[in-house]
Amino acid sequence: MAELQELMDQLNEAQREAVLENSHPLLVLAGAGSGKTRVITTKIAYAIEQLGIPPYKILAVTFTNKAANEMKERVGEMLEGRSDVNDCNIRTFHSFGAWFLRRFGSEIGLDSNFTIYDDNDSLSLLASCFPNYKKRELDPIMRKISYAKDRGLTYTDNLQSLKVDSTFKRMFEAYERKLHQVGNVDFADLIGRSIELLETKSEIQQWVHRRFSMILVDEYQDSNAAQFKLLHRLVGPSTFICVVGDDDQSIYRFRGAEVQNILSFPDQYPMARTVKLEQNYRSTQNILEIANSVIKNNKGRHEKQLWTANRKGGKPHLSYVQDEQDEALRIATIVKKDRRFNESAILYRTNAQSVAFETMFKRAGIPYKVVGALQFYEREEVKDALALLFLLTNTKDEVNFKRMINKPARGIGPGSQDTILAYGPEANGDLLAMLRLATEKNGLSNKAREGAKHFLRMYEHAQKMLQEGELVDCAYFLIRESGLLDYYRKLDQQNTTAKVENLEALVNALSSYESSLEGLLLFLEQLSLDPTTLGQEDPRDKDGVTLITMHNTKGLEFDRVFVAGLEDELFPGRSVESDEDIEEERRIFYVAVTRAREELYLLSASARKIWGKTSYNHPSRFLDEIDPSLLTVQGIRPGTDSGGFGYQGLSSLQEKRKRHDAASPSRSSSSSWGASGAPIIQKGFGSKAKTFTMKTVHEAKEGEPLFPVGQRVYSDSYGEGEVITLRMSGDREVIEVRFFNGKKTTFISKFAQLEKIGGE
């Protein structure tokens, strides 16, 4: 075992202070790359070795299974040789909820064999309550229900803050009643029903207060209102509470994360102490200065300043490019030159932006990996097989029953299913009992009856196999006897896919679990809580440039980072309305920049096509918050009078037409080409250039549009065209132009690099 003193000696002064403070509620503000995991794990080891706290009395909660597993491993290494070290309860919030509810859920009427519904399952359950609605109509309702539950709200509460009507409350209530009826939970329930248990059963809350004398929460800035409430119930009068996080990295507001939880911690826990971890061990000082210069503009934050003892490093690069193809070409040129593919990552705001990079990299022969693509767990064939297993553990699971009772087709259509479900009250909600009654009372057609009998016999045999400890054989039996194996084998033959291999991977994964109902429940629970644990190689383990959204980069770091798409209305996005929205977007920028260890490239395009539409946007306002002296700038900022899209040097339309028509599609070593075919000067990221302020090109006359519908215009890049639509986006006039070459593009009128044809 590593000596504890040696571990303490490796900590800096602030980290050591965080480990040694164990008498007051503690807020550890851990800046990006400041070694917070080392602090948490050392604090756990110190509590066990020096404070004498038994491991089973320590609860550590984080937000990803990967982080929880890493913490378990580190604590195990620090306390190597202690047989009780695995008694530490190191979990995610949702994993803790599942553990807690399986242990005590019966106290509030929840069977310990409950299934955890994912978003699709929850939507299917809501749809079963309202069969006259289509799923696409119910999807926004289900999302709002989940949002309400993440805020700790039920259908009996005042939901005025959600701006909903009586129909929503009626649907919310019906969904909740149905969920309780089938005996399952959704993700939000893992928190909400745990709160219910603690609030209604005082003896269980007292047990929790006795059980856990130390509670630590990692990534506290990502907690939502319900998790905040749960934590408050878990902490007893003598419980030591420590939360670790960084308000500057709170970027999951769209999921319900509430940055106020970490901002208000000193108010919630009197006598709380705050320790700031500001020394960064990841990035160069130049990169940190970029991050600091932007994030300091947020008002809703704890004051802190990242610094590092690392070398200063080279200046980060800012490049103004023509469009998304030029952006992809420039990045491809850099990574292909030194072939440091595995050390490079491209970060973007939306998944749609990956297309240009994927296309360019395929052409250039550059290996890449897209993080965040369809997970193994989400594939149709895997969901089907899992539905069979979920139904085996809970025979009241109507969602998975409906998914599989007629897949593959066995003559049990919607009408026959209604007939079967009508026996619900008589069968006490047990779906296999309903099947039995339906076959015995002749309520089905001959074909449906035979299909129902086969399905019933299959499950009766599977239950016996599971009771006899034949878990793997039982899973294979269900997949084969249900017809799934033959069904997907035929699809593989027709489409050259590997669906049967995925089914095989699922069965193989079961072999590492105890061959019993308990083993199956554990497998299904772990899979529900962390879908990446099954049948899928982590794409980050493959070779190639990483393509990833900014949200997905939390906890990751790369030697070289390209932050693409730095344009207003993309980043920050069009939906940004309030100061809170802007501060959230600024935090996302901060997270993106601080993923870089050594090299940082920022890119802003003059034009961008996403989902088939081209728009001309202002460079991101976050670029204006960076001191120009911190950057090496390449390219001409849109709207300037020095060339590029802002070029105004030629006064006659005829000369512009000549220049446009003479543009050659051939490429040269001194220029690169965007989607329009218009040349742009490429100096390379290392060249020096001035940074410019965006220039308004057109001024409106009061009461008149800048570009009325029907106005003919000329563009350097696209030639002649005509304005076909006009709309207002806030206080900005936005027009759509159809050019005579067939292209349609969108512009913000006052910044549009267009010349009117035919007078004002």
Feature table: binding site for ATP: 30-37
3-state secondary structure 736-757: EEEECCCCEEEEEHHHCCEEEE
From the list 115, 249, 419, 711, the catalytic residue is 249
Question: Is 37 a known active-site residue?
Answer: yes
| DSSP bridge pairs for 273 | 26
**Residues of the binding site:** 30-37
From the list 121, 150, 218, 567, the catalytic residue is 218
User: In this structure, are residues 566 and 603 in contact, taking their beta carbons and an 8 Å threshold?
Assistant: yes
Q: Which two tokens stand for residue 33?
A: 């790359």
Distance between CA atoms of 312 and 598, rounded to whole angstroms? Answer: 9
User: In this structure, are residues 298 and 583 in contact, taking their beta carbons and an 8 Å threshold?
Assistant: yes
Q: Which two tokens stand for residue 463?
A: 């239950």
User: In this structure, are residues 715 and 616 in contact, taking their beta carbons and an 8 Å threshold?
Assistant: no
From the list 17, 21, 37, 157, the catalytic residue is 37
Task: Give strand ranges (E) for 349-408.
Answer: 368-370
Question: Tokens 């793997």 — which residue?
Answer: 472
Q: Pick the closest to residue 249 from 238, 234, 259, 263 (CA basis).
A: 259
Q: Which two tokens stand for residue 522?
A: 């554990």
Pure H helices in 499-578: 499-510, 517-529
- Return all residues near 370 (Cβ < 8 A) that are at least 6 apart: 354, 358, 539, 547, 548
Distance between CA atoms of 596 and 593, rounded to whole angstroms? Answer: 6
Please give the torsion angle defined by the CA atoms of residues 613, 614, 618 and 622, in that order, rounded to the nearest 10 degrees: 60
From the list 72, 379, 595, 608, the catalytic residue is 595
Question: Is 219 a known active-site residue?
Answer: yes
Question: Is 36 a known active-site residue?
Answer: yes
Q: DSSP letters of 292-359? A: HHHHTT-SSS-----B-SS---PPPEEEEESSHHHHHHHHHHHHHHH---TTEEEEESSGGGHHHHHH
Whole-number Cα distances in Å, 108 to 102, 114, 196, 505: 11, 13, 8, 37
Distance between CA atoms of 475 and 470, rounded to whole angstroms? Answer: 9
Question: Is 595 a known active-site residue?
Answer: yes
What is the chain's Cα-based Rg?
A: 30
Contacts 24+ apart (CB under 8 A), 681-685: 681/635, 681/643, 681/644, 682/330, 683/634, 683/635, 684/634, 685/317, 685/319, 685/330, 685/334, 685/601, 685/632, 685/634
Exposure of 96 in the CB half-sphere (CA atoms within 13 A): 27
From the list 36, 282, 379, 403, the catalytic residue is 36
Which DSSP helix (H) or strand (E) runs through 374? none
From the list 150, 186, 189, 219, the catalytic residue is 219
One-letter amino acid for residue 276 of the chain: K
Q: Which two tokens stand for residue 139?
A: 């999807």
What's the burial of 31, exposed, middle or buried (CB within 10 Å: 0-12/13-18/19+)? buried
Q: Which two tokens stand for residue 60?
A: 């550590």
Q: Which two tokens stand for residue 634?
A: 């390449």
Q: What is the DSSP letter of 157?
A: S
Sheet holding 58-62, edge to edge: 89-92, 58-62, 214-217, 240-245, 26-30, 273-277
Question: Is 218 a known active-site residue?
Answer: yes
The number of beta carbons lying within 10 Å of the beta carbon of residue 289 is 21
Q: Pick the closest to residue 361 from 381, 343, 380, 341 (CA basis).
A: 341
Cis amide linkage into residue 572, ω under 30° from 0: yes
Question: Is 397 a known active-site residue?
Answer: no
Q: Mind telling me the catalytic residues?
A: 36-37, 218-219, 249, 595
